[in-house]
Amino acid sequence: MGESLFGRHRICAVIAAPTAKEMARQLRRALRFTRTVELRLDYLRSNLERGYFLGWLDLQRPRATMIATCRVREAGGRFTGGLAAQSVFLAVAAAVGCRWCDIEMETAARFGTSKHWKRFLNRARVVFSCHDFRGTPGNLAAIVRRLERWGGDAIKIATQCNSIADSLRVLALARSKRRVVAVPMGEMGLPARVLALREGSALAYGAAGEATAPGQLTLEEMKNLYRADKVDRRTRVYGVIGNPVGHSLSPLLHNSGFQARRMNAVYLPFLVRDVRDFLAAIAPLGIAGFSVTLPHKQRILKYLHDCDPLARRIGAVNTVVVRGGKLYGYNTDYVGVLRALEQHVRLRGSRVLIYGAGGAARAVAFALAQGGAMVCVSARRLEKARALARAVGGEVAQRARLRREFFDAIVNATPVGMHPLAAESPLEPTELNCRVVMDLIYCPMKTRLLELAERRGIETISGVQMFLAQGTAQWEIWTGVRAPEAAMRRAVLAALRREEVLEGKP
């Protein structure tokens, strides 16, 4: 159905730039990935640049399904000219090879029917579109009826999703209507963007340059990381829930594993503020399992049908399997901590400080106690530190004592040092009196804490080691197949090194 509308390539590259030269460069690059493109003429900084680009397009005539749009500011676009100028640019775009024109409802309302547009659009087909950057309206059905009355060849609904439930409502339009492009916007709508084609949307968008809408993924991410055009009803869906979750490398880790093993599965990042909002989406989206990160590792426990005995003792879960609609919890952080620390510290008889007392800290504490270490806990909230120390037979180390204490190892189990707090360290240099410092944060690979430790000549352990170990253990719990660890490690390390280059680190 969607293929007959826009051709074989249903991932649409969004071409948006201020100059004709950059628009042309983006278009040439995008055609390596797809043959369906949206040309955002409103992003060009002047009418002169629009003329240059359309002239170039006339000469090149690329073999692609091109959709022209010149969106006005009221609809979230950048075009400030009048209706006459907007109409002329769309008409020229149609004349030089654009088979479709996207007309926003704010503009369409001034004429009301597709007959007006088709008179001068060189027989180009018309998409009538609605964009709401504030939220997902309650009257979506009425908006759809209004768009359909104008008699276009397709309609598009793009709304900001302020909950996962909002994104399900947008996807429902694609399931219930023919000739619909459904675009859930915002970070909460990101997983639904990837699944939109599976649900019946005629197109899904990926940015060839800068993102033109909240939550819009790059073309490479849509095509290569998530393989959105390959997702179908047989695809097993996994994900990570957390807040924040945008900087997580878990999608890269797990999707690299699925691709290496040629498995029909996809792993998505879910920004979750309310756990119940996510749980209500498990059945509609067909989610088979998910990772749990901050701040939900302990909150998720009350929603589980059953829990691995070790995870129950730890009191925190980072891995959930969905079976028959019921949730079963596990904790693989434990495995990650042991594998990472045992390469550097003989745990039996050692004295290790954990800074933090949340879900991740609990996994570290139980792993260390199981390994025979004396566990010391320091945290901003003293009562939580005491509770964790009691649970593992350890002791509390008050912050004021750290300058005078020595430990075999110190482990940071707080989010301090992670984006957006990457420039901060949870501990001062004078508090790092130990042989080894480990940070559970893996992005960046070398946190501010690890930099301070290195300056003092202390051996350091990046959270990457734990991240890889716990992640491959998760992957194996879900799939029942041995994880392709080398491929998963290569993908994650390459991404972290690229990030360091972009940040100007050596």
Residues forming beta bridges with residue 343, ordered by sequence position: none
Residue with tokens 């005491």: 386
**Separation between Cα atoms, residue 8 and residue 19, nearest integer Å:** 29
**Separation between Cα atoms, residue 503 and residue 354, nearest integer Å:** 29
Using alpha carbons only, what angle is made at residue 498 by residues 497 and 499, rounded to the nearest 5 degrees? 90
- 469: three-class secondary structure by DSSP: helix
Taking Cα atoms as reference points, which of 65, 142, 137, 152 lies closest to residue 107?
Answer: 152
What are the φ and ψ backbone dihedral angles of 38, each rounded to 5 degrees?
-105, 125
Contacts of 360 (CB under 8 A, 6+ apart): 294, 297, 316, 333, 413, 440
**Separation between Cα atoms, residue 175 and residue 157, nearest integer Å:** 13
Q: Which residues of 280-307 are buried (b: 16+ CB within 10 A; e: fewer)?
A: ebbebbebbbbbbbebbbebbbeebeeb
**Separation between Cα atoms, residue 207 and residue 209, nearest integer Å:** 5
333 in active site: yes
| Catalytic entry in 118, 131, 254, 446 | 131
| Catalytic entry in 156, 223, 296, 446 | 156
| Catalytic entry in 333, 408, 439, 446 | 333
| 334 Rama class: left (phi>0) / alpha (psi -120 to 50) / beta | alpha
274 in active site: no
Cβ 229 vs Cβ 223: under 8 Å: yes
Residue with tokens 């170990």: 469
Both tokens of 304, joined, read 């589980």
Cβ 3 vs Cβ 35: under 8 Å: no
| Catalytic entry in 9, 223, 254, 297 | 297
131 in active site: yes
Say how many CA atoms lie within 13 Å of 156 toward its Cβ.
Answer: 26
Residues forming beta bridges with residue 378, ordered by sequence position: 355
Q: Indicate the helix (H) or strand (E) that contains 84.
A: helix 83-95
Strands (E), 31-124: 36-40, 65-69, 100-104
**Separation between Cα atoms, residue 496 and residue 492, nearest integer Å:** 6
Q: Which residues are part of the catalytic machinery?
A: 131, 156, 297, 333
